Amino acid sequence: MIVTVNGVRREVEEGLSVAALVDDLAGGTRGTAVAVNQEVVPRSTWASTRLQPGDAVELLRAAQGG
């Protein structure tokens, strides 16, 4: 199925969880926030939140520096 991640269309497996997507793309969860269709997804629900065809996902990573 096709979803959009940070503005880029991607093909992902049917029923992929937010947790699996974050693991695949962000390389870990620390400092990561996720929104699906402009709604923040609480980390506690990532494993149970399944993506649907056409979903728009935004992955945000906190960065530190100076």
pLDDT greater than 70 at residue 27: yes
Q: Which two tokens stand for residue 18?
A: 């937010």
Q: Which two tokens stand for residue 54?
A: 């056409």
Locate the domains of the chain by residue range: 2-61
pTM of the entire predicted model = 0.88
Within the chain, residue ranges assigned H as helices are 18-26
Fold that domain 2-61 belongs to in CATH:
Ubiquitin-like (UB roll) (3.10.20)
CB contact at 8 A, 32 and 60: yes
Would you state the pLDDT for residue 65? 67
Structure confidence at residue 41 as a pLDDT band (50, 70, 90): very high
Structure confidence at residue 66 as a pLDDT band (50, 70, 90): low
Those residues whose C-beta lies under 8 Å from the C-beta of residue 52, and which sit 6 or more positions away, are 1, 3
Local structure of residue 27 (DSSP, 8 states): S
Percent of the chain with pLDDT over 70: 95
